[in-house]
Structure 1
Amino acid sequence: MSDTYDRLNALCFGGRLRPVVIRLEPWILSIDTPGLRLAGAWDSDGWSIAIDRALLDHPRLLVGALLHEMVHQACHQAAGVGGHGPFFVAAAALAGGPLDIPGPTPATASTWPYPIPRQLLKEI
């Protein structure tokens, strides 16, 4: 997965993202919404990205989840900003450009670039 990270970093972020630890996890639970399982998570304290291993059989969704978390990393690295607010929306639009992925709106930022079907994460 580090090769995919490196390719996305070069293509979508101009190689400006610092190296991170990428972990495959069996469960990633939301801190903000108890019981909600996430496809991925950015950990600014540990400088790491976690991706739900259920996505290994779904390459398009896996790359989308990784790109989403890399946008969180970019926002944190550039301005110390978290969440899915205006900074994330703008950064995602820029990152998605080279891949012809439209940027999110404030309403779709949390599921950008591809909504992960919740049943997929429940199957594992």
Structure 2
Amino acid sequence: MIRRLTMTAAMTAAVLSGSLLPTTAEAGAPTAASAHAPAAAPCTSKWRAVQRVAVRHPGPYDGRVVTMNSPVHHYLKRGEVVRSCIVAIARTQSGPAYRACGKDGNLWRVVSGGQVPQTCLKRA
């Protein structure tokens, strides 16, 4: 038992002195120059409106995801192309969150000015 304590004390002293710690190159850790995450790529996902559709923004009681009763910010014309890389999911206890453009759904695409039902957009 005395030997174990002596060995543990010796190893602790070596670790504290830095002789047993691997260097950053040995450990595979990133160097100081690459410590920051790379910049995010700009949004390149384009969507085309299949018909005239309202772009809604959350009202005071809606939270982060809009509803069909949320205020309208502006309208997208049929064929208008918008960029959207973010989806908001509307959770409901019974059935879909909306019926728009002839389909039921619960996904809202976040576009400039608000959110649009995904059923009203098509990949461009």
Settle same-fold status: TM greater than 0.5: no
Whose strand fraction is larger, Structure 1's or Structure 2's? 2
Flag the structure with more relative contact order, 1 or 2, with Cα contacts below 8 A and sequence separation at least 6.
2
Q: Report the TM-score when normalising by structure 1.
A: 0.20
